[in-house]
C-alpha cells in the first residue's frame, strides 16, 4: 500500500502571518502614542474650609453610610450629620441616610476641651475612620468613655467608627467656623449633657 504524504496547507507561510501581525501591532501602538494627549487633573479646593481640614475629602453622607468600611484608616469630612443619641461620655450615634446609626467617638483633644454634642443638632465632622474591635472597646471602658456593660454592648454593634478631631455645628446652624475643633471646648450655644 502506498502511503500518501499529507502536507498541511499554509504551514510554510505561518511565519509571514506572525511577522505581519507584529508589524500591525507596532504600527497601532505608534499611532496611539502620536494621537494621545496629556491629561490634566484639576483638584477643586473648598474656600469655605476650616482650620485643619486641608486635603481632607468631603464624603457625601449617602456614599459614606452605605460602605463606611471602604474609608478605614482615612481622614474624612462629613457635612450635616445629625447627632442621634449619646453613648457614654465621649461617643455619639449619628443618624445616617442608610437608616443605620454610625458611631462617632471624640478624640482625646476634644474630650480634654470638654466638647459635647447636642442630640438632634446637625454637625460637620472630621476624623479618621477606624475598625471596632475588642481592644478598642476595652480601652474605652478602661478610660471611662463607656460607662458600664450596657454602653459596651451598644458599642459592639458598630463595625467601624469615626474618631473625630473636629466637630462643629453645620453651616447654617449658628456656629462660627472653627468652633468645636481640637482643644477649643464646647461649641457656642451647646449645653453639657
- Decide if 43 is inside a domain: no
**For the chain, what is the domain count?**
1
Q: How many Å apart are CA 68 and CA 102, to the nearest integer?
A: 9
Q: How many Å apart are CA 112 and CA 30, to the nearest integer?
A: 63
| DSSP annotation string for 2-15 | PPPP-PPTTGGGHH
- Decide if 6 is inside a domain: no
Average pLDDT rounded to a whole number, residues 117-136: 91
pLDDT digit string, tens, across residues 137-169: 888 888 888 888 888 888 888 889 999 999 989
- Lowest mean pLDDT segment, chosen from 26-30, 32-36, 47-51: 47-51
Identify the CATH number of the domain in which residue 99 sits. 2.40.50.140
Tell me if the pTM is above 0.85: no
Average pLDDT rounded to a whole number, residues 116-127: 91
> What pLDDT score does 170 carry?
86
> What pLDDT score does 122 carry?
93
Residue span of the structural domain in which 73 resides? 61-169
Q: What band does 173 get if pLDDT is binned at 50, 70 and 90? A: low
- Decide if 14 is inside a domain: no
> Does pLDDT of 178 surpass 70?
no
Say how many residues make up the chain: 193
- Lowest mean pLDDT segment, chosen from 25-34, 37-46, 125-134, 176-185: 176-185
Amino acid at each position: 500500500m502506498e502511503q500518501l504524504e499529507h502536507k498541511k496547507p499554509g504551514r510554510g507561510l505561518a511565519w509571514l502571518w506572525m511577522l505581519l501581525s507584529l508589524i500591525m501591532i507596532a504600527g497601532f501602538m505608534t499611532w496611539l502614542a502620536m494621537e494621545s494627549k496629556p491629561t490634566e487633573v484639576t483638584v477643586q479646593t473648598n474656600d469655605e474650609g476650616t482650620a485643619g481640614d486641608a486635603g481632607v475629602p468631603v464624603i457625601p453622607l449617602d456614599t459614606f453610610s452605605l460602605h463606611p468600611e471602604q474609608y478605614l484608616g482615612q481622614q474624612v469630612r462629613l457635612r450635616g450629620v445629625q447627632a442621634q443619641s449619646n453613648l457614654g461620655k465621649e461617643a455619639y450615634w449619628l443618624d445616617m441616610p442608610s437608616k443605620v446609626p454610625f458611631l462617632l467617638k471624640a478624640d482625646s483633644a476634644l474630650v480634654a476641651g470638654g466638647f459635647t454634642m447636642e442630640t438632634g443638632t446637625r454637625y460637620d465632622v472630621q476624623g479618621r475612620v477606624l475598625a471596632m474591635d475588642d481592644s478598642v472597646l476595652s480601652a474605652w471602658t478602661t478610660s471611662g468613655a463607656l460607662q458600664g456593660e450596657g454602653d459596651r454592648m451598644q458599642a459592639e454593634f458598630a463595625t467601624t467608627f469615626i474618631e473625630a478631631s473636629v466637630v462643629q455645628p453645620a453651616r447654617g446652624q449658628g456656629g462660627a467656623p472653627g468652633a468645636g475643633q481640637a482643644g477649643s471646648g464646647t461649641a457656642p450655644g451647646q449645653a453639657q449633657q
